[in-house]
Each structure stands twice: as C-alpha cells, then as structure tokens.
Structure 1
Amino acid sequence: MSDLSKSELRRLDLTLLLIFLGLVRHRKAADVATDLGLTPSAISQALQRLRAVFKDELFLRHPYGLEPTATALALEQPVAQAVEALRGALGTARAFDPERAEGIVRIAALDGEQAVLVPPLTARLRAAAPGLRLSVLPFGRGQAAEALSDGRADLMLGVLWEPDPAMSSQLLYEEGFLVAGRSKALPQAPQVTLDDYCNADHILISPGGDLRGIVDTALEALGRSRRIVLGLPAFLPALAVAARCDAIVTLPARVARSFAPGFGLVLAEPPLTIRRFNISVFWHRRNDRDPRILWLRQQLAAIIP
C-alpha cells in the first residue's frame, strides 16, 4: 500500500477510524453499530469509504463475520495509536462529565470480583452516569490482559501475578479466606480444627477445572491433605451446593460474608495460613490520562468498604 496523499487523508475523519478499529476488533458490523450508536447502513457506507481511501477490501465477508485482510491488520496499530493520541489530547483539554457521558464500559472480571464489585459499581453508575452502560466480560487473566491490550476491555478487575509492563494498576483491597458450610458441617463455627477441616468433604472453585488449589499447597506443607468431592468454576454455585450437603467450601472472605448467609451457611476462620492476595483494577498504560478511565477508577475505589 502506497502512502496516502493529502487529498486521500482529507477523506478520513475520526468516525471512520473508530469504525475501522471496531471492525478489526469485533469482526461484526452490527456490534460496531451498537457500540458507536450508528446504524448498520452508516457502517456499510463507512466501510465503502475506507476501501476507497486505502484501495483495499480491508474486510472479507464470512458466515461468522468479517475477516480483516493483511492490509487491515497492518493498519490496526498505527490507526489505534493515532486515535489514542487524539483522545489523550482531547482528554487533557476537557474533563469527563459523567452526567452527559454515553457509551459502553467494558470490564473484564471473573465471578468473585463480579459478585463483590459489580453490584455497587452498577448502582453508582446508574446514579452518577445514567448514560453509561456496563458490560462485564468473564475473562480469565490471560484473556483479560489481551482484551485490555487490543481495546476490547476498558478495565480488568482481579489478580495479575505477573502484570504486563504495558498495564497500569491500582490496588483496591487485600483479600483473605473464610470457610463456609452448613451448621452440621461446621459445628464449632466461627472456628474449625485442622483435623475436622481435613476430614471434611470439600468443594473447590476452579475455573480451569483442576481439583487442586492454593489450600492444598498450604496443607501439603503441613503434611496434611483434604478430600475434594466437587470442582466448580464459580463461587455462587459452590455456595448453593454447600447449602444442600455437608461439604464445605473455602472462598474469598468478601464473597463469603456477602453471600453465604443468604444460603443459610455459617462461616469459620481457616485453621491454617492461606496466602492472601490483592484485588486491583488494571488498565492499559495508553489510558493513564484518559479522564473516563480515571473517573471509573475513582468510583471503584469509593465502593470498597
């Protein structure tokens, strides 16, 4: 592809560039139209203009959506950099106004952070920024980092043991663990002895499907073990199962305190030391000065008890 002439550059505008990036990332014109508040017809017309400017098909139609050509993929990074540079320039000159803001905020989070942080965040957004809509993406760490990098997510909530240098972060809270179960399973709650803990049936929350977690590593260091009878990918189903049998579940303290009582379960302190962890909000460094991202981070920090 040859360099664009001045006359060709004049045919480009910010909306065209945003549509181009949306098509590269979402691969579906309908999703881009929804995201940008445009009609499908406007997306189709914009694509024709983009093809004329760049003298390339850019996107090929397939049953599953649009497939970017090599030219489109080569253009993605420089176009994204140009858009982010302009966004940053506008951000420094204009403050974010939540009352007038519109659009979709996309946050990557697994179920623990979804359960603890999304309900109060949603309440704050509905009160302070009613034009913003919230979409939560159930991505694990690797997927979430990629989504931040390619613009599919604005923020990530959770843990990154080895954050990418391209990511920025802000600590929200430090988290520990509690044990939840029926009164019959935890008769000495809020305490449980190590022997009773090891002899009990356990439910493990394991998004990856492994029937081993950090509790098992801690028990192994003590020369002990436990019996895991069920692995589940999410916390609330685990609590629901614990409410129907005498198995116990070890889970993050904030999730336990917020939801276990609703299932009729009691709580106990773990009888061993389990490594604590930090829950943070992550974003891509290109958005360090983005006023919308800053405002969202402030709302998250404000809901931490």
Structure 2
Amino acid sequence: MSEFDADKIRRLDMSVLLVFLALVRHRKALAVAEELGLTPSSISHAQKRLRDILGDPLFIRRPHGLEPTAFALELEPRIRDIVTRLQEVVSSPRPFDPKSATGTVRISAFDGEIAAHIPKLLAQMENSAPALKLIVRPFGRKDALRALEHDETDLALGFFWDLPARFMATSLYEEGYRVVMRRNHPLANEDVLGPEAFASTGHAVVSPAGDLRGIVDDSLDQMGLRRMVRVALPHFLPALATVSQSDLIATLPSRIVEDYADTFGLYHCRPPVELRSFPVSLVRHVKNQRNAMHNWVADALVGIARAEQRSAVN
C-alpha cells in the first residue's frame, strides 16, 4: 500500500499552492489574480479545489476581504516551505564561492595522472579553496566508471574510450611517451638509442594487471624485433625509482617523466619506435553535471592541463 494519497497529490498542483500563499498574503481574490496573471474565476476554482482536498473552508469572506481560518494559518509555513524547496529545484545553481566552500571531492585516477596533476590542483586549492578536501583513489577505467555510477567517486582522470551516454568527458590533452633511464646509463644518448639497442636492453613495464607486454611490443613486432622485459610494476613512480637504480629502461607517459625525471636523477628521450599517443580525459556522470563544487574542481583541472600545454609550446 502506498504511503501517499496519490489522488489528492495529483490535484494539489503548484498553481494551487501559489494561489493559497497569495490569498494568505493579500486576503483579496482580485489582488491574487492580478499578481499571478490569472482570472478571478481561476482563483475561485483553485479555492474550491483546496477546500475539497484539505477538508477546510480555509478562507472566510469578511467585509474587508478573505480571512484565513486557523487551519489555513497553520498550513501556511509548511506550504511555503514546499514551494521554496521546489523553487530551489527549478532555479539555476547558486554561484559557487570557493573561498568559503567546504566539502570533499573524490577523484579516481592511476598514479601517473595523480602524480602529474594532483599536486598542482592542491596548490591551487590552497590559494582559492582552502577548506575543500580531496580524496584520491587509484581506480582504472572499469572501476572508475563503476564508482561514478554508484556515487563512490565524483571525477575520474585517465584514458577512457567508448563511454556510455550517461558519462560526460572533457578532453585534457594528448599524451605521448618518453624513454627513461639513469643518467649514466650506456644508452643515455638519443643518437645511440636506435631500435636494435632499445630492444636488446632490459625493460621495466608498468602494468597493474601484471602483463609483460604492451604497446611497445606491438611496434617492435612490426620491425621484427623483440624486447627483453625484466619486471612488471603496478605504478609509474616505482618504475621511475627502479630504473634510477638499475640498468633497466622504461617507456612511460611523457608528463610523469618530465615532471619527475630530475627528482629521480634520470635521462629521458623520444622512443626510437613509433608509438601512438592517447587522450587523457576528465570524466563525470551526467547526473552530477550541475554540481557546482565538482564543476569548480573540474575547471581547475582543465585549466592546469591547458597551462601545461601552453608552457610546452613556448
């Protein structure tokens, strides 16, 4: 059995509620008709419907106008609250003030995007939105989309393809690759690092699933070459640490290499094989597209990515 009286609720539409509030305020049907742009007969019909639904006269005719009954006066603040809440639903979102905003935004990304963007985002938040907090979780594509679907995360960063219509993506940039190794590695010279030398040395790869093969191997196959993969690591920063302390080399996304090569004392250069770039996007669920806090963080991430692009061009 339904907890609602569906018949009464269907008859109690918004226009009737607006008439009720205006009658309590003006106490004259003609003034209400003028305010709401309705005819006097429409006001009369609305009054009759209200009396039938609520089981009370609501307004008593007096020489000076319409006097609300005690029940009508009791109802007025409750109906006003209902109308106010409905107004909030149909109104545009309130302007977001990052300086005074509080709350937490949850972001999903692999450690490459985390390391490349979250420190810059936090620096911007410290100046512009000091009370906002971040939770960052290391989700790949499948888990990130599931988390967005179930309200377990708010934004996702990474390489996403063939997104269902319930997700919206904002392209941040096209990501390429760099080969990285310790600075005194025998191959730390772009003229020396040809395809054969590249394939014959030991490689570290990043694969959360533990795969020992990747996009580099597809390109080498076309050249009749095969590389020697010595270790598969789950994250990019451990890969940088690994090659800094060994003779292994790694082929990693450009941004994390360029941001952290100096930190780890590494040399990097262009790959000696052709590798396709891939888009990095910011993804949200369409149900949250009007969330002002999420939109502010999303705009900040887009701004960071575009500033990096301008810096790279210059």
> Residue 176 in 1 paired to residue 173 in 2?
no
After TM superposition, give the deviation of residue 221 of structure 1 in Å. Answer: 2.0
Give the conservation status (yes or no) of the 8 Å contact 1:203–1:238: yes
After TM superposition, give the deviation of residue 231 of structure 1 in Å. Answer: 0.5
User: Normalization by structure 2: what TM-score?
Assistant: 0.68
Q: For residues 191 and 170 of structure 2, what CA distance do their matches in structure 1 show?
A: 32
What residue number does 2:148 align with? 148
Deviations 1:207-250 (A, max 9, x none): 11111111111211222110000000111111111111111010
Structure (1 or 2) with the larger CA radius of gyration = 2
User: Normalization by structure 1: what TM-score?
Assistant: 0.70
* Change in CA separation of 1:285 and 1:93 when aligned onto 2, cut-off 3 Å: closer
Residue segments in structure 2 that go unaligned for 5+ positions in a row: 6-84, 309-314
Q: Aligned runs of 1:127-146 on 2, under 5 Å?
A: 127-146=127-146
What residue number does 2:162 align with? 162
SS in 2 for 1:220: helix
* Change in CA separation of 1:244 and 1:258 when aligned onto 2, cut-off 3 Å: same
> Residue 102 in 1 paired to residue 94 in 2?
no
What residue number does 1:5 align with? 4
SS in 2 for 1:207: coil
Deviations 1:148-193 (A, max 9, x none): 1111111000011221221001011110000000232423237621
After TM superposition, give the deviation of residue 87 of structure 1 in Å. Answer: 11
Residue segments in structure 1 that go unaligned for 5+ positions in a row: 7-84
Q: Aligned runs of 1:207-222 on 2, under 5 Å?
A: 207-222=208-223
Deviations 1:94-149 (A, max 9, x none): 11111121111000011100010110011111211111110001111111001111
* Change in CA separation of 1:3 and 1:115 when aligned onto 2, cut-off 3 Å: same
Q: For residues 261 and 86 of structure 2, what CA distance do their matches in structure 1 show?
A: 47
Q: For residues 291 and 169 of structure 1, what CA distance do their matches in structure 2 show?
A: 17
Aligned-pair identity (%): 38
* Change in CA separation of 1:190 and 1:290 when aligned onto 2, cut-off 3 Å: farther
Q: For residues 181 and 87 of structure 2, what CA distance do their matches in structure 1 show?
A: 50
* Change in CA separation of 1:151 and 1:214 when aligned onto 2, cut-off 3 Å: same
Q: For residues 172 and 130 of structure 1, what CA distance do their matches in structure 2 show?
A: 24
After TM superposition, give the deviation of residue 5 of structure 1 in Å. Answer: 3.1
- Opposite residue 235 of structure 1, the aligned amino acid is F
What residue number does 2:205 align with? 204
> Residue 231 in 1 paired to residue 242 in 2?
no
Q: For residues 191 and 296 of structure 1, what CA distance do their matches in structure 2 show?
A: 44
* Change in CA separation of 1:112 and 1:88 when aligned onto 2, cut-off 3 Å: farther
- Opposite residue 302 of structure 2, the aligned amino acid is A
* Change in CA separation of 1:92 and 1:226 when aligned onto 2, cut-off 3 Å: same
Q: Aligned runs of 1:178-193 on 2, under 5 Å?
A: 178-182=178-182, 183-189=184-190, 192-193=193-194
Deviations 1:280-299 (A, max 9, x none): 10000112222222211110
What residue number does 1:248 align with? 249
Give the conservation status (yes or no) of the 8 Å contact 2:188–2:268: no
Give the conservation status (yes or no) of the 8 Å contact 2:196–2:225: no
Q: For residues 204 and 194 of structure 2, what CA distance do their matches in structure 1 show?
A: 18
Choose 130-139 or 189-198, whichever is displaced more.
189-198
Give the conservation status (yes or no) of the 8 Å contact 1:209–1:232: yes
- Opposite residue 94 of structure 2, the aligned amino acid is R
> How many aligned residue pairs are there?
226
